[in-house]
């Protein structure tokens, strides 16, 4: 029984690592392009986008909530950023606008959940529809082109050998890792997700923690939206369609339990890499993009199934 749970968690990450490794070996044998530097950079760049939003999603799911609005916020935030960029000629101002809008979306989500008492699945589902609608209405469903040439460097440029988004994702990963594991706030996130009522009765500021985590998620989703807009060099009302499911699936695949309180950033990162590599491999193997959806769907179901089984085996252990 000793450290059984810790060992389970460790084993789980080892399993994910192994799955990633096998996937890579298989793809490397099937496709000569897979292991080229160019393709690896592509994978990392794609993964970075999911990771930036996914890091925030980890915190949200850890405390037992969910945020479906991150996909639509890719569109709205991207459009807003490009609009500010075109009006001000300033990348910095565009970034600030994006972050502010992301924080605002997160704040609204958080207040809907804590103050209005709406289940986060529903609250953010509504937010997702609203934001997508706003993106369409504000642009007349037409994308707006960025007029500042340097903007595209944010998403496509390099810092040394590494693409900028990858560096950004790495920095954010480190920062949120520190937040979750070396600050009281991180401990609270795990506690609130592990037992909300106990957290309330132990005198933790549950509502504030939740709102803060939703805001963190909103800001990080806005950052990924900013990077995406830069890569597209435009604000597109269709940006990020289905992105929320991609993020949630990756995070859950990485062992972050939808019931809250269980999971790690490292696991989530592995989940993100597995899904990205899978996607990349399907492209390399010339599989029709419709099959990508099917593959992703299967992986999502598989991930939740594994989560449920894990949950059950954990539930059986205590007291037994």
Shortest CB 320 distance to another protein, Å: 9
Q: Does residue 316 interact with another protein by CB under 8 A?
A: no
Could you tell me which residues come within 8 angstroms of residue 73 by beta carbon, excluding any fewer than 6 positions away?
Answer: 101, 102, 105, 131, 218, 221, 222, 225, 240
Q: Does residue 70 interact with another protein by CB under 8 A?
A: no
The answer to whether the beta carbons of residues 267 and 15 sit under 8 Å apart is: no
SS3 letters across 18-73 = HHHHHHHHHHHHHCCCCCCHHHHHHHHHHHHHHHHHHHHHHHHHHCCCCCCCHHHH
Please say which residue, 149 or 319, places its beta carbon nearer to another protein: 319
Please say which residue, 292 or 310, places its beta carbon nearer to another protein: 310
Q: Does residue 115 interact with another protein by CB under 8 A?
A: no
Please say which residue, 38 or 184, places its beta carbon nearer to another protein: 184
Among 195, 245, 292, 304, indicate the residue that binds another protein (CB under 8 A). 195
What is d(CA 203, CA 213) in angstroms, rounded to the nearest whole number? 18
Please say which residue, 82 or 262, places its beta carbon nearer to another protein: 262
What is d(CA 122, CA 127) in angstroms, rounded to the nearest whole number? 8
Please say which residue, 160 or 203, places its beta carbon nearer to another protein: 203
Please say which residue, 64 or 240, places its beta carbon nearer to another protein: 64
Q: Does residue 207 interact with another protein by CB under 8 A?
A: yes
Q: How many CB atoms lie within 10 A of CB 277?
A: 21
Q: Does residue 201 interact with another protein by CB under 8 A?
A: yes
Q: Does residue 173 interact with another protein by CB under 8 A?
A: no
Q: Which of 55, 303, 301 is nearest to 177 (CA)?
A: 55
Instruction: Give the sign of the dihedral formed by CA 285, CA 290, CA 294, CA 296.
Output: positive
The answer to whether the beta carbons of residues 165 and 45 sit under 8 Å apart is: yes
Of 15-23, 35-43, 196-204, 286-294, the window that binds another protein (rule: CB under 8 A) is 196-204
What is d(CA 276, CA 43) in angstroms, rounded to the nearest whole number? 6
Please say which residue, 140 or 203, places its beta carbon nearer to another protein: 203
Q: Does residue 2 interact with another protein by CB under 8 A?
A: yes
H-type helices in 233-288, by residue range? 243-253, 265-284
Of 44-52, 86-94, 199-207, 228-236, the window that binds another protein (rule: CB under 8 A) is 199-207
| DSSP3 helix / strand / coil % (the chain, rounded to 5) | 75, 0, 20
Shortest CB 317 distance to another protein, Å: 7
Among 147, 158, 182, 309, indicate the residue that binds another protein (CB under 8 A). 182
Q: Does residue 66 interact with another protein by CB under 8 A?
A: no
Mapped onto helix, strand or coil, the DSSP state of residue 162 is strand
Q: Does residue 7 interact with another protein by CB under 8 A?
A: no
Among 99, 123, 262, 272, indicate the residue that binds another protein (CB under 8 A). 262
Helix (H) or strand (E) run with residue 7 in it: helix 4-30
Please say which residue, 42 or 177, places its beta carbon nearer to another protein: 177
Contacts with another protein by CB under 8 A lie at 1-6, 182-184, 187-188, 190-191, 194-195, 197-205, 207-208, 261-262, 314, 317-319
């Amino acid at each position: 029984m000793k450290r059984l749970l810790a060992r389970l968690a460790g084993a789980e990450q080892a399993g994910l690592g192994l799955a990633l490794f096998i996937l890579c070996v298989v793809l490397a044998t099937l496709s000569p392009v897979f292991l080229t530097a160019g393709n690896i950079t592509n994978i990392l760049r794609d993964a970075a986008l999911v990771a930036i939003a996914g890091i925030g999603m980890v915190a949200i799911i850890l405390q037992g909530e969910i945020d479906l609005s991150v996909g639509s916020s890719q569109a709205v935030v991207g459009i807003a950023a490009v609009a500010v960029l075109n009006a001000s000629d300033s990348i910095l101002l565009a970034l600030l606008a994006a972050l502010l809008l992301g924080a605002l979306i997160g704040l609204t989500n958080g207040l809907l959940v804590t103050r209005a008492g709406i289940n986060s699945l529903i609250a953010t589902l509504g937010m997702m529809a609203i934001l997508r609608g706003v993106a369409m209405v504000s642009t007349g469903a037409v994308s707006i082109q960025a007029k500042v040439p340097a903007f595209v460097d944010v998403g496509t440029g390099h810092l040394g050998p590494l693409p900028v988004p990858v560096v950004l994702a790495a920095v954010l990963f480190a920062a949120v890792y520190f937040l979750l594991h070396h600050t009281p706030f991180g401990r609270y996130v795990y506690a609130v997700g592990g037992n909300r009522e106990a957290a309330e009765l132990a005198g933790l500021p549950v509502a504030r923690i939740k709102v803060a985590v939703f805001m963190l998620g909103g800001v990080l989703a806005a950052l990924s939206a900013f990077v995406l807009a830069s890569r597209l060099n435009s604000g597109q009302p269709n940006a990020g369609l289905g992105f929320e499911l991609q993020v949630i699936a990756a995070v859950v695949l990485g062992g972050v339990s939808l019931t809250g309180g269980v999971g790690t950033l490292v696991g989530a990162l592995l989940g993100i890499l597995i899904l990205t590599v899978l996607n990349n491999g399907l492209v390399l193997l010339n599989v029709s993009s419709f099959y990508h959806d099917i593959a992703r769907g299967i992986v999502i179901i598989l991930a939740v199934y594994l989560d449920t089984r894990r949950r059950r085996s954990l539930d059986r252990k205590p007291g037994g």
